């Protein structure tokens, strides 16, 4: 990435300027029961003990064959962890708990409709369901170890069941967020080369039974247009023995899982003993170009890392009831709903719907009913609940010991409401900063060891050693008061292994920028570039300021500006499109879209709505622009580059700054008039 581009976008995106806040301390009650209370942990996980320190995490899981090499750097920067080890993730999340805990609830499933019964699925029941579905995948779908499978499902127990069945067979699952469109699903099917799509007929969201199967039809049509085939579409029924979609079943291609499962009743599948470095899953995320990146995560390193951080940072004990409101279709759900908590034998809550249905008291009723004591969500949800029902939590008798926030910076005011009202001033908060690529937490406070500071994430978690570089590769030290590009000095077991099918993009995007020697096999030469701007306070706490690349964070989820722009360009009248992030009270940021039309096309409401529509269809509702501004021309540099910085300033009603270098400064006034109303 050229240097000037980094500076330009980071200025536009740094939207966090709150003051340093005072510390809040964990209660003695929390400390008395915490998993990690010994300061020594930072010594144990210091760089002097790297990489052997991570044995502590690997020992939290069961190995068929123990590993011989902790970290193999011979293919730097594609790191291999726990080499020689043989393992199975499904075994670790289920089978090994049966001896002592088979009748314990693994999953509390809460349907969105409040009059529907909560389902309590024990570990034994989970074992049976996962085995039966694995048998179906093996015999009926003909899948074998190493095959990719795309799963496009809502928040229902059948989703983790499908994931764990894949893991049992060594299939690589690629879960696509249920809210994504059929087209977005198709892109991920094509890139991963999946031959099987697992989906569901319908699900409830905001009180409406949405037809989900129709997205599968769009996805498969698109996949076929691109010259790739899908062998089978496996459809779970939201309500067994009833098909809840209007879309017809295509003979020979579409199969109702609930019917076929009857042939596999009671079938057992031995977990496949796969190598630690075998991929467990792909998770697609947005980057600077239009094409989403398939982050490839390992089995052994990943599982060890999410088990370790779930235990130490989430403070999960086997007797806890843990509720993470994220969607399993994002990395948070993979690591901290499914693999981390289940590997530790916790009881997890899975909620189908939106937090404010039918009202803003819903999460707190669920917490009260199920005795949830660990709660995990994103600032967007917290802002929404605070806005609609600021007093609601007080009406319910639940008690959290621990709460997590993730995905975007949280404003101190919102943090305080979360702490005082939701947490009733009893619960600790961990502000966890990390990414799809990193598999698990990078920075957070260890809840019984470090005080909390609203608006700051915390220091690197044990074993993670962050460093901030300026654009010239010089280190910015703690307390210097300057922001820079936050990197991680060392590899860690949860990190992704590569971008599926694109090693060059992996190296180029994450390791090229501050690499000291491209031929080096020494991890010290390969700092990992996170793509975030950050500042380190004197106490070693980091404050994350936002992305330095062309990525927008909407409700804690990454959307590439290029992805949205290319969707807009599908509309034939559109000549140019530019997306910029706008600050939003609830969602953190939302995309604003600027459009220049081809000559001869007058602007109209109709074109604007067609553009919005095209984006929803290509990506999903989450990417829908706040506003579509049709302008006569884009502000451009003399070399013809669109000045997104200027557009971002206009959308955010900020000072535009110097425009003298523009080829067409007049257009700025014109756009300013338009956006200031
Ligand atoms: C980007 C990663 C991590 C799982 C959910 C999002 C931003 C994430 C925080 C936080 C400030 C945060 C960063 C990061 N981010 N957590 N606690 N404070 N910013 O995963 O979609 O891969 O997005 O989200 O900008 O790079 P993702």
The answer, yes or no, to whether residue 393 has pLDDT greater than 70, is: yes
Report whether residue 409 contacts ligand 1, using a CB cutoff of 6 Å: yes
> What per-residue string of b and e applies to 299-335 under the rule 16 or more CB within 10 Å gives b?
bbbbbbbbbbbbbbbbbbbeebbbbbbbbbbbbbbbb
What pLDDT was estimated at residue 12? 32
Report residue 43 as tokens: 């010594």
The answer, yes or no, to whether residue 395 has pLDDT greater than 70, is: yes
> What per-residue string of b and e applies to 29-41 under the rule 16 or more CB within 10 Å gives b?
ebeeebbbbeeeb
Report whether residue 556 contacts ligand 1, using a CB cutoff of 6 Å: yes
Candidate from 283, 558, 587, 623 with most ligand 1 atoms within 8 A of CB, to mutate: 558
Between 243-247, 452-456, 505-509, 583-587, the lowest mean confidence (pLDDT) is in 583-587
Give the confidence band of 2 by pLDDT, cuts at 50, 70, 90.
very low
Report whether residue 334 contacts ligand 1, using a CB cutoff of 6 Å: no
Report whether residue 432 contacts ligand 1, using a CB cutoff of 6 Å: yes
256 contact partners, CB below 8 Å, separation of at least 6: 235, 237, 243, 249
Give the confidence band of 645 by pLDDT, cuts at 50, 70, 90.
confident
Distance 435 CA to ligand 1 centre (A): 5
Q: In this structure, which residue's CA is closest to atom 14 in ligand 1?
A: 435
Measure the CA–CA gap between 590 and 583, rounded to whole angstroms. 7
Dump pLDDT digits (tens) for 346-379: 999 999 999 999 999 999 999 999 999 999 999 9
What pLDDT was estimated at residue 642? 87
Report whether residue 485 contacts ligand 1, using a CB cutoff of 6 Å: no
Report whether residue 434 contacts ligand 1, using a CB cutoff of 6 Å: yes
What pLDDT was estimated at residue 233? 98
Measure the CA–CA gap between 197 and 437, rounded to whole angstroms. 23
Give the confidence band of 4 by pLDDT, cuts at 50, 70, 90.
very low
3-state secondary structure of 4: helix
What pLDDT was estimated at residue 545? 86
The answer, yes or no, to whether residue 6 has pLDDT greater than 50, is: no
What is the percent of the chain where pLDDT is above 70? 97
Report whether residue 315 contacts ligand 1, using a CB cutoff of 6 Å: no
Question: Which ligand 1 atom sits closest to the C-alpha of 530?
Answer: 26
Distance 457 CA to ligand 1 centre (A): 11
Q: In this structure, which residue's CA is closest to atom 17 in ligand 1?
A: 433
Distance 652 CA to ligand 1 centre (A): 21
CB atoms near residue 124 (< 10 Å): 16
Mean pLDDT on 293-297: 97
Residue with tokens 């257009």, as numbered in its chain: 667
Radius of gyration of the chain (CA): 24
Measure the CA–CA gap between 521 and 77, rounded to whole angstroms. 8
Candidate from 13, 282, 407 with most ligand 1 atoms within 8 A of CB, to mutate: 407
Measure the CA–CA gap between 301 and 283, rounded to whole angstroms. 16
What is the percent of the chain where pLDDT is above 90? 88
Dump pLDDT digits (tens) for 553-579: 888 888 888 889 989 999 999 999 999
Dump pLDDT digits (tens) for 229-278: 999 999 999 999 999 999 999 999 999 999 999 999 999 999 999 999 99
Q: Are 349 and 325 in contact (CB under 8 A)?
A: no
Question: Which ligand 1 atom sits closest to the C-alpha of 443?
Answer: 17
Dump pLDDT digits (tens) for 24-59: 999 999 999 999 999 999 999 999 999 999 999 999
Paired sense of beta strands 196-200 and 148-153, if any: parallel
Between 48-52, 123-127, 585-589, the lowest mean confidence (pLDDT) is in 585-589
3-state secondary structure of 5: helix
What pLDDT was estimated at residue 451? 98
Report whether residue 404 contacts ligand 1, using a CB cutoff of 6 Å: no
Burial (CB count <10 Å: 0-12, 13-18, 19+), residue 214: middle
Residue with tokens 């500071």, as numbered in its chain: 453
138 contact partners, CB below 8 Å, separation of at least 6: 144, 169, 269
The answer, yes or no, to whether residue 536 has pLDDT greater than 60, is: yes
Report whether residue 457 contacts ligand 1, using a CB cutoff of 6 Å: yes
Determine phi and psi for 321, rounding to 5 degrees.
-105, 115
Distance 477 CA to ligand 1 centre (A): 22
H or E, element range at 274: strand 274-275
Give the confidence band of 17 by pLDDT, cuts at 50, 70, 90.
low
Q: In this structure, which residue's CA is closest to atom 20 in ligand 1?
A: 435
375 DSSP 8-state letter: E
- The partner residues of 582 in beta bridges, in order of sequence, read 590
Q: What is the mean pLDDT of the chain?
A: 94
Candidate from 180, 433, 581 with most ligand 1 atoms within 8 A of CB, to mutate: 433
Distance 376 CA to ligand 1 centre (A): 14
Helices (H), 34-76: 40-44, 55-58
């Amino acid at each position: 990435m050229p240097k000037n581009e980094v500076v330009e976008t980071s200025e536009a995106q740094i939207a966090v300027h709150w003051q340093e806040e005072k510390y809040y301390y964990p209660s003695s009650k929390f400390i008395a029961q915490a998993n990690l209370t010994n300061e020594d942990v930072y010594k144990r996980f210091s760089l002097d003990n790297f990489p052997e320190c991570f044995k502590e995490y690997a020992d939290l899981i069961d190995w068929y064959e123990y590993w011989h090499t902790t970290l193999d750097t011979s293919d730097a920067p594609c790191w291999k962890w726990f080499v020689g080890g043989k393992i199975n993730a499904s075994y670790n999340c289920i089978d090994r708990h049966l001896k002592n805990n088979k009748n314990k609830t693994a999953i509390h499933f809460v349907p969105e409709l409040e009059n529907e019964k909560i389902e309590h699925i024990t570990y034994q029941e989970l074992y049976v369901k996962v085995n039966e579905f694995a048998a179906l995948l093996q015999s009926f779908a003909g899948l074998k170890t190493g095959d990719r499978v795309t799963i496009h499902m809502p928040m229902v127990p059948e989703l983790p069941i499908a994931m764990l069945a894949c893991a049992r067979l060594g299939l690589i699952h690629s879960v696509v967020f249920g809210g994504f469109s059929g087209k977005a699903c198709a892109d991920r099917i094509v890139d991963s080369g999946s031959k099987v799509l697992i989906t569901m007929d319908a699900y409830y969201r905001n009180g409406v039974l949405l037809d989900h199967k129709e997205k599968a039809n769009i996805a498969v049509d698109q996949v076929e247009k691109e010259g790739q085939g899908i062998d089978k579409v496996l459809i779970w029924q939201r309500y067994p023995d009833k098909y809840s979609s209007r879309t017809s079943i295509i003979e020979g291609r579409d199969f109702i899982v609930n019917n076929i499962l009857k042939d596999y009743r009671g079938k057992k599948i031995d977990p496949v003993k796969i190598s630690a470095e075998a991929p467990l899953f792909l998770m697609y995320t947005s980057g600077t170009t239009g094409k989403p990146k398939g982050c490839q995560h390992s089995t052994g390193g990943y599982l060890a890392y999410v088990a370790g951080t779930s235990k130490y940072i989430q403070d999960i004990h086997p007797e806890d009831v843990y509720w993470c409101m994220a969607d399993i279709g994002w990395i948070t759900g993979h690591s901290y709903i499914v693999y981390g908590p289940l590997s530790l034998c916790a009881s997890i809550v899975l909620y189908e719907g939106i937090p404010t249905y039918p009202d803003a008291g819903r999460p707190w009723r669920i917490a009260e009913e199920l005795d949830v004591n660990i709660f995990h969500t994103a600032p967007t949800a917290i802002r929404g609940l605070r806005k609609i029902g600021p007093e609601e939590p007080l009406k319910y008798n639940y008690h959290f010991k621990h709460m997590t926030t993730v995905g975007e910076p949280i404003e101190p005011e919102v943090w305080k409401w979360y702490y005082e009202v939701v947490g009733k001033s009893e619960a600790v908060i961990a502000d966890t900063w990390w990414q799809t690529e990193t598999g698990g937490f990078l920075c957070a406070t260890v809840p019984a060891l470090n005080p909390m500071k609203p608006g700051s994430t915390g220091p690197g978690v044990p074993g993670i050693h962050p460093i901030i570089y300026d654009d010239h590769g010089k280190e910015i030290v703690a307390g210097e008061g300057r922001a820079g590009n936050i990197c991680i000095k060392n590899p860690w077991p949860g990190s992704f292994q590569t971008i599926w099918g694109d090693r060059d993009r992996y190296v180029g995007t994450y390791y090229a920028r501050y690499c000291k020697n491209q031929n080096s096999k020494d991890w010290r030469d390969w700092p990992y570039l996170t793509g975030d701007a950050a500042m380190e306070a004197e106490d070693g706490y980091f404050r994350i300021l936002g992305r330095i690349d062309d990525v927008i964070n909407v409700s804690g989820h990454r959307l590439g500006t290029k992805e949205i722009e290319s969707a807009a360009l599908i509309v034939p009248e559109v000549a140019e499109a530019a997306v910029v992030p706008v600050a939003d009270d609830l969602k953190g940021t939302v995309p604003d879209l600027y459009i220049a039309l081809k000559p001869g096309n007058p602007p109209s409401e109709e074109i604007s709505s067609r553009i919005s529509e095209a984006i929803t269809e290509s990506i999903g509702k989450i990417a829908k622009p706040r506003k579509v501004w049709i302008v006569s021309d884009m502000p451009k540099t003399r070399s013809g580059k669109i000045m997104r910085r200027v557009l971002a300033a206009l959308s955010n009603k900020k000072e535009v700054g110097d425009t003298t270098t523009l080829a067409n400064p007049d257009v700025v006034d014109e756009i300013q008039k338009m956006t200031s109303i």
